[in-house]
Structure 1
Amino acid sequence: MAAVMRKIIHIDMDCFYAAIECRDDPAVADKPVGVGGRSNRGVLTTCNYVARKFGCRSAMPVFKALELCPHLVIKPVRFDVYRRESRKIRAIFARYTDLIEPLSLDEAYLDVSHRKGYAYDLARTIREEIFRETRLTASAGIAPNKMLAKIASDWRKPNGQFAVLPEQVEAFMQDLPVRRIPGVGPRAEELFHQKGIDTCGQLQEIAINELEKWLGPSRAAELYGRCRGQDNRPVEPHRDRKSTSVERTYSQDIPTLDGCFQQLPVLLEELEGDLTRQKSPRPFNKIFVKLKFSNFQQTTRERAGISLDSEAFQELMEEAFERSPHAVRLIGVGVRFPEPDDGSQLELSFT
């Protein structure tokens, strides 16, 4: 029996936090707007497209953003508002499918394989409903797998959508820059460029044993399939989660420990919100920090803990940072839940 062809939609809100701030304060709607801390040590969580024209970007120190754009409007982070809008958007998704895999407050995969008609039309309808009910715009990618849908959602941003049909995958991948594959950062791009490889079509010509020499077995196997447009991961809406975490991949690598420390307050605030809005809050017994470096290696440090103690997370981050000489491209913070039979009776608390 032939496998059922999936129809996957990746919805990505456009500059979600900044868009909400511009919607709620029309006076700044046409101005460069950043969301983040106001202090000298603050960082931008995100910024709108007007600010991006000046070179501002997420994870940039506020002082640097103000040097690039002196008239940048800095709005404080309001996670309670962002979560509220995110719930509205997910409720719209649920009108069309139960197979929803949120990636963050502002993006999610939807599996609409069970629905008749074109997924492209459905994506447009979902985007229209999001705008009508929230006055926020979203972009969408439509494809037969998650990787391609995520690539496609960035194709016509902002407020656009793009589809890669099953019969188009082979041709689409030929000229696709290797950098477009999720997880391929500047260092890997430079490695491939030095070897004369700039497109996925060129990468397809490299034998897997050669890739293993460059990247290691697991990374080589992943890229061997990804550069051919292959991705068999299902949309996973319901998972018995052993942990809860938030993580962010930065558009530019973070070279210093202090730079990593600057990201912690926003990440911990988002993690706290994720925990407190659970229908049945669960006690946790461990905390952890995850770092992924510019060479794609990653490490995790964890310890026993029952509160979101920022100093404890800083200590774990320092331990993780010292494990590699490379800059950091992703930071994650999270908690682990006790196994049902371990007898833990811990209180959920935040400090």
Structure 2
Amino acid sequence: MRMKTTFIHGGISHDEATGSVNVPIHQTTTYKQEKVGVHKGFEYSRTGNPTRLALEKLIADMEGGVRGLAFASGSAGTHNIFSLFSQGDHIIVGDDVYGGTYRLINKILKRLGLTFTVVDTSDSSTIEGAIKDETKAIFLETPTNPLLKITDIKAVAEIAKAHDLITIVDNTFATPYNQRPLELGADIVLHSASKYLGGHSDVVAGLVTTNSEKLAEELGFLQNAIGGILGPQDSWIIQRGIKTLGIRMEAHEANAKKIVDYLSSHDKVEKIYYPGLASHPGHETAKKQTTGFGGMVSFELKEGLSAETFVESLSLITLAESLGAVESLIEIPALMTHGAIPSADRLKAGVKDELIRLSVGIEDVEDLIEDLESGFSKL
């Protein structure tokens, strides 16, 4: 099946027992056993739930994995992945990752004995120099959050395989509609499903998949042991959201391109970060490994202009954390999503105080541009 069809008919897309075209919400904790150890495939809902299983099979089909796993948040999925590793293990991580990932690494995982080296994964040559004897994995986002840097997944995966490392890709911004990391050589793919996959700002969830039977078994054991699973109702909501992912991504990107054109000629904008621009450093790589450039746009105001004044002057575009929703969302990374990162580290990575991140929704783009213009007029 092609992608739009997979979003609707992949995984377990209907109920065999009744013919319902939607998978039922199995709101149960436990399951009747006919005899001790004899059951219909489910024992306890932390270990497995039919509604969650339908979503897990769907993300595996979407990404080309052998098994999917659904978690209570993207951060829970990230923690589950990092739980593959032991004290003393070393992991290479991208220098422009979600602030919550930065917090997890620096406030929790380092305390538990994991070690990390931060590199710019968009320059694959930096990875070779960071590999140590104890290195086990490379963790990256592409496009990154919030600077939309692009990493050549195939090149990184080749380096990883040469050193027997695991390649982990956060595919939240691109979605499986535009990018499939497992096909490019990655081993594990992660999503904050709260974003584009859900798409409606109404559920928090994380999804993970892998094309390795061994990793799938290990991740599944950790999911059950740690217990950060997604509930049945939230699993159903995410699956419903995925049905329209293809047409939503097309609308997000169409609007984003028009907004980028508008921003490109504005005298109060210093710089625009969007992979669809020929001037973007990762444009050629993005063209090679994705089928679209997505709906995320970041831009810097001219030095000295107040990002706070700008975002607080908007009336249609919502000032809020998160992204990937049908409504446009705007935020200041330095003060919001990446506020957990110390100023020196944030500025070193290129996240300036004037940087604004815009998740372009699917409203009429003329209304969005008029709202942006009203914000600029207040500066």
TM-score normalized with structure 2 length: 0.26
Structure with the larger strand share? 1
Structure having greater relative contact order (Cα 8 Å, sep ≥ 6): 2
TM-score normalized with structure 1 length: 0.28
